[in-house]
Amino acid sequence: MAGIDQKKIRNFCIIAHIDHGKSTLADRIIEKTGLLTSREMQAQVLDNMELERERGITIKAQAVRIVYKANDGEEYIFNLIDTPGHVDFNYEVSRSLAACDGAILVVDAAQGVEAQTLANVYLALDHDLDVMPVINKIDLPSAEPQRVIDEIEDVIGIEAQDAPLISAKVGLNIEDVLEQIVEKIPAPTGDVNAPLQALIFDSVYDSYKGVIVFCRIKEGSVRKGTNMKMMATGATAEVVEVGYFGAGQFIPCDELSAGMVGYITASLKNVKDTRVGDTITDADRPCEKPLPGYKKVLPMVYCGMYPADGAKYQDLRDALEKLQLNDASLHFEPETSIALGFGFRCGFLGLLHLEIIQERLEREYNLDLVTTAPGVVYKVHKTNGEVIELTNPSNLPEPTEIDYMEEPMVKAEIMVTSEFIGAIMDLCQERRGIYQGMEYIEETRAVLRYHLPLNEIIYDFFDALKSRSRGYASFDYEMLGYEKSELVKLDILINKEEVDALSFIVFSGSAYERGRKMCEKLKDEIPRHLFEIPIQAAVGSKIIARETVKAVRKDVLAKCYGGDISRKRKLLEKQKEGKKRMRQIGNVEIPQKAFMSVLKLDEKK
């Protein structure tokens, strides 16, 4: 295998706006090159996480190696790396891009260029990738390929006249794509004989093989027995196996050399030793300096995550560590809550990221979780001059010690068709947005620019955007910095006891509204007890909203069904079972659902 000609390798990824057909195209490419017969094909081969298939999104980057016999009679090796489309996973995208030499840009023939199309193209150009456009979904009645081609040239500024016009769904013109990959995507460069220099772009944990490192070999080569060294962590280990990616499986080979994409397993004990973005070299013949790696990303959204069963704390820690292994943007540290016990304060790139991590923990690691309301990082300027970065509302100092507070702002770009401009402007207004301007990309589509507080968009902004534009608006944002703001801590008291896990920081003008909604929601979620339970929202010592859960006056089974005691027992057991999933706060049992319900406060809109 050492004899693979670098010129015959093409490392590329597919980038696209969400739903433009990226994963479907990947499936077709795999099918056309005969890696799998269509009978073996399962829709979206690369999205092998259950969650990905269900949601129809790509979360993790995935790689696969395929062999293509081109029209010139030569066989080419394609390394295809699938990437996520959502803004929360830009970090993942940029990792995959670093392993590629070119990118296929998929654009929907009906929808044209969208916010994420642009964002991903810029990312690709940042990584010096050659971008090759493909127009997808030309089978749709509303397809306007020529308009979209022009748009790509106008808006993005890349040559698109000879872009393949395809339908990944029905498998139309996929050959054109394959031929253009050979023609337009550059072959990798790199000296096979130079000291080893490989970029870790992902890794997974396998219970049999241990840590599996996904890497792109930039220089040199690696084989079984190589004494490899992680340049950032300094960990060394002997390589146990190298190989490349089959469809859904790992295929061992003798050697990976410059230009190739593949995996390495080694006798690595600690998952923390292999950090994504780190450079692998040969300990016996090290390269001079590491590859640039990745820009470190900072979590923007924080929440508390607690195991529903306190005994599962260690399991949660293990699971978070394993997820962090290939998701460096996931951040966590231990914290304790009076209401929820031991858990972790976790940092995420956004709310979708949070949801995905939560679901992965629940499905892949079988953990039952209780999550607290997400919040952003606030800067608290104390009267003594000290500035603290607040990630947990419970740590807010006394009001007398606070001089002022700042909250993070984002610069948001919302692309929307003209008929929804009004609705979207209303939404931004409600979310304390500051209008920055608007420009028309073409006759019917405009980009709206707003400055928005991050804490206004982490909840359900995306959903609201979609529902108010019937799905047409798309949205991208970047951090702008901190601005002074009137913020207060909203506390929830249940039966006069403050529940720390329900406290959060909110803009003072929205406190009343939020507090009222929280109380209403909790009233529906907290079951009736033998006594009356007041639910109150408070800012400081001032109660701003109240609801009451009425006491149970009666819970009697008058009749006992003759001698059918089993039936009675089942009724009692059912009642008891419900209680098991509750948290005891003072003498009130609160279902775990209640903690989560406050995350979806604006659902009814």
Partner 1 sequence: MRRNKELEIYIHIPFCVKKCDYCDFLSGSQDEATRKIYVEKLIEEIRTHNKRNRSIHNEKVITVFLGGGTPSILEKNQITAIFDALRENFDVAEDAEITIEANPGTVTAEKLQAYKKCGINRISFGLQSTNNEELNLLGRIHTYEEFLESYQLARACGFNNINVDLISAIPKQTVASWEETLKKVIVLEPEHISAYSLIVEEGTPFAKLYGEGCPGEHDLPSEEEERAIYYRTEELLEKAGYHRYEISNYAKKGKECRHNLGYWERKEYLGIGLGAASLINNTRYKNTDDLLYYMEHASDLSAIQENVEKLSLEEQMEEFMFLGLRKMEGVSVDEFENTFGKTMEECYGEQIQSLVQQELLKQKNGRLLLTKQGIDVSNYVFGEFLMACQY
Span near partner 1 by CB under 8 A; candidates 126-134, 193-201, 420-428, 559-567 = 559-567
Q: Return the range that interacts with partner 1 (CB under 8 A); candidates 184-192, 291-299, 302-310, 563-571.
A: 563-571
Q: Tell me the C-alpha distance between 395 and 160, whole Å.
A: 54
Q: Is 554 near partner 1 (CB under 8 A)?
A: yes
> Nearer to partner 1 by C-beta: 434 or 565?
565
**Beta carbons of 150 and 59 less than 8 angstroms apart:** no
572 is an interface residue for partner 1 by CB under 8 A:
yes
Q: How far apart are CA 483 and CA 410, in angstroms?
A: 10
The three-class DSSP label of residue 18 is coil
Q: How many angstroms separate the CA atoms of 178 and 34, rounded?
A: 13
Query: In this chain, which of 75, 139, 486, 573 binds partner 1, going by CB under 8 A?
Result: 573
User: Which residue of 39, 296, 542, 559 would you call a contact of partner 1, by CB under 8 A?
Assistant: 559
Work out the angle at residue 255's Cα, subtended by the Cα atoms of residues 250 and 256, and round it to the nearest 5 degrees: 75
Least Cβ distance, residue 338 to partner 1 (angstroms):
21
Residue 233 as a binder of partner 1 (CB under 8 A): the answer is no
Closer to partner 1 by CB, 39 or 553: give it.
553
Q: Which of 530, 540, 548, 602 binds partner 1 (CB under 8 A)?
A: 530
Q: For partner 1, what does the binding mask look like between residues 34 and 53, x meaning CB under 8 A?
A: --------------------
Pairing of strands 504-507, 487-494: antiparallel
Examine residue 552 and tell whether it contacts partner 1 (CB under 8 A). yes
Report d(CA 196, CA 591) in Å as an integer: 55
Beta strands in 430-570 (DSSP E): 434-442, 445-453, 474-485, 487-494, 497-498, 504-507, 533-539, 542-549
Q: By CB under 8 A, tell whether 311 contacts partner 1.
A: no
Nearest-Å Rg of the Cα atoms of the chain is 27
Q: Does 584 bind partner 1 (CB under 8 A)?
A: no
- DSSP collapsed to 3 states, 398-429: CHHHEEEEEEEEEEEEEEEEHHHHHHHHHHHH
Distance CA 590, CA 338 (A): 13
- Of 147, 430, 565, 602, the one binding partner 1 (CB under 8 A) is 565
Q: How far apart are the first and last CA of the chain?
A: 59
Closest separation between CB of residue 244 and partner 1, Å? 53
Note whether 560 binds partner 1 by CB under 8 A. Answer: yes
Nearer to partner 1, 400 or 566 (CB): 566
Comparing CB distances to partner 1, the nearer of 435 and 561 is 561
375, amino acid identity: G
Structure tokens at 88: 């929360």
What's the CA gap between 335 and 343, in Å, rounded? 5
Which lies closer to partner 1 via its Cβ, residue 79 or residue 495?
495
Among 296, 542, 553, 604, binds partner 1 (CB under 8 A): 553
Among 575, 593, 600, 603, interactor with partner 1 by CB under 8 A: 575
**Considering beta carbons, is residue 43 or 530 the nearer one to partner 1?**
530
Specify whether the CB–CB gap between 326 and 399 falls below 8 A: no
Number of residues engaging partner 1 in binding (CB under 8 A): 24
Q: Which of 39, 296, 576, 604 binds partner 1 (CB under 8 A)?
A: 576
Q: Which residues contact 419 (CB under 8 A, 6 or more apart)?
A: none
Nearer to partner 1, 37 or 566 (CB): 566
Stretch that binds partner 1, among 359-367, 450-458, 478-486, 566-574 (CB under 8 A): 566-574
234 in contact with partner 1 (CB under 8 A): no
Question: For residues 398 and 381, is the Cβ–Cβ distance under 8 A?
Answer: no
Q: Which residue has the tokens 């059912």?
A: 574
Residues in Cβ contact with 48 at an 8 Å cutoff, skipping those fewer than 6 apart:
62, 248
- Min dist CB 561 to partner 1, Å, is 8
Tokens (6 digits) for 313: 């704390």
**Counting every residue, how long is the chain?**
605
In this chain, which of 398, 542, 555, 604 binds partner 1, going by CB under 8 A?
Answer: 555
The only residue of 42, 557, 600, 603 in contact with partner 1, by rule CB under 8 A: 557
Output the CA torsion 222→223→228→232 (10° steps): 40
- Choose the stretch contacting partner 1; rule: CB under 8 A; options: 134-142, 374-382, 431-439, 570-578: 570-578
Whose Cβ is closer to partner 1: residue 338's or residue 572's?
A: 572
- Between 67 and 530, CB nearer to partner 1: 530
Residues that bind partner 1 (CB under 8 A): 530, 552-566, 568-569, 571-573, 575-576, 579
